[in-house]
Amino acid sequence: MAHISGFERDQLLLLPEAVDDYVGSDNPVRFIDAFVDGLDLVEAGFARVQPKATGRPGYAPGDLLKLYIYGYLNRVLNILGMDKMMAAVVA
Protein backbone atom coordinates (compact mmCIF):
# COMPACT_ATOMS: atom_id res chain seq x y z
CA MET A 1 0.00 0.00 0.00
CA ALA A 2 1.42 3.40 -0.96
CA HIS A 3 1.40 6.70 0.93
CA ILE A 4 -1.28 9.30 0.33
CA SER A 5 0.36 11.89 -1.87
CA GLY A 6 -0.69 15.32 -3.06
CA PHE A 7 -1.83 16.22 -6.53
CA GLU A 8 0.65 16.47 -9.34
CA ARG A 9 1.51 20.09 -10.07
CA ASP A 10 1.30 19.50 -13.82
CA GLN A 11 -2.19 17.98 -13.58
CA LEU A 12 -4.47 19.61 -16.11
CA LEU A 13 -7.41 21.66 -14.84
CA LEU A 14 -10.09 23.77 -16.44
CA LEU A 15 -8.52 27.19 -15.64
CA PRO A 16 -5.58 27.79 -15.52
CA GLU A 17 -4.22 24.94 -17.54
CA ALA A 18 -2.14 23.36 -14.74
CA VAL A 19 -1.97 23.58 -10.93
CA ASP A 20 1.67 24.64 -11.28
CA ASP A 21 0.49 27.88 -12.94
CA TYR A 22 -0.98 29.09 -9.62
CA VAL A 23 2.44 29.43 -7.97
CA GLY A 24 4.80 32.17 -9.07
CA SER A 25 8.21 31.28 -10.46
CA ASP A 26 10.00 33.20 -7.66
CA ASN A 27 8.02 31.59 -4.81
CA PRO A 28 10.24 29.83 -2.22
CA VAL A 29 7.97 26.79 -2.39
CA ARG A 30 9.71 25.82 -5.62
CA PHE A 31 13.09 25.69 -3.88
CA ILE A 32 11.65 23.71 -0.96
CA ASP A 33 10.06 21.24 -3.37
CA ALA A 34 13.31 20.65 -5.25
CA PHE A 35 15.36 20.48 -2.03
CA VAL A 36 13.17 17.87 -0.31
CA ASP A 37 12.84 15.83 -3.51
CA GLY A 38 16.65 15.66 -3.61
CA LEU A 39 16.93 14.30 -0.06
CA ASP A 40 17.27 10.63 0.80
CA LEU A 41 14.60 10.50 3.51
CA VAL A 42 15.62 7.05 4.75
CA GLU A 43 19.20 8.20 5.25
CA ALA A 44 17.93 11.42 6.90
CA GLY A 45 16.23 9.33 9.58
CA PHE A 46 12.60 9.25 8.50
CA ALA A 47 11.48 5.87 9.87
CA ARG A 48 8.26 5.45 7.91
CA VAL A 49 9.33 6.23 4.37
CA GLN A 50 8.26 2.73 3.31
CA PRO A 51 4.50 2.36 3.99
CA LYS A 52 3.08 -0.66 5.76
CA ALA A 53 0.88 -3.09 3.87
CA THR A 54 -2.03 -2.88 6.31
CA GLY A 55 -4.35 -0.13 7.48
CA ARG A 56 -4.99 3.28 6.02
CA PRO A 57 -1.93 4.70 4.30
CA GLY A 58 -0.27 7.73 5.87
CA TYR A 59 0.71 10.89 4.07
CA ALA A 60 3.96 10.87 2.15
CA PRO A 61 6.78 11.97 4.51
CA GLY A 62 8.31 14.17 1.82
CA ASP A 63 5.06 16.10 1.37
CA LEU A 64 4.74 16.62 5.13
CA LEU A 65 8.36 17.80 5.35
CA LYS A 66 7.77 20.31 2.54
CA LEU A 67 4.72 21.68 4.33
CA TYR A 68 6.58 21.92 7.64
CA ILE A 69 9.59 23.73 6.12
CA TYR A 70 7.35 26.19 4.27
CA GLY A 71 5.38 26.91 7.43
CA TYR A 72 8.56 27.32 9.46
CA LEU A 73 9.99 29.82 6.96
CA ASN A 74 6.76 31.81 7.19
CA ARG A 75 6.56 31.47 11.01
CA VAL A 76 3.28 29.56 10.82
CA LEU A 77 3.24 26.33 12.79
CA ASN A 78 -0.46 25.69 13.48
CA ILE A 79 -2.96 24.03 11.17
CA LEU A 80 -5.31 27.02 10.83
CA GLY A 81 -2.46 29.32 9.89
CA MET A 82 -1.18 26.75 7.39
CA ASP A 83 -4.63 26.50 5.80
CA LYS A 84 -4.86 30.29 5.34
CA MET A 85 -1.28 30.49 4.08
CA MET A 86 -1.77 27.72 1.49
CA ALA A 87 -5.00 29.33 0.27
CA ALA A 88 -3.08 32.60 -0.22
CA VAL A 89 -0.26 30.87 -2.13
CA VAL A 90 -2.59 29.10 -4.54
CA ALA A 91 -4.99 32.04 -5.01
Each residue's pLDDT tens digit, 62-91: 888 988 898 888 888 788 888 887 777 666
For residue 19, the number of C-alpha atoms closer than 13 Å in the C-beta half-sphere is: 7
| 26-52: pLDDT as tens digits | 888 889 999 999 998 888 887 766 777
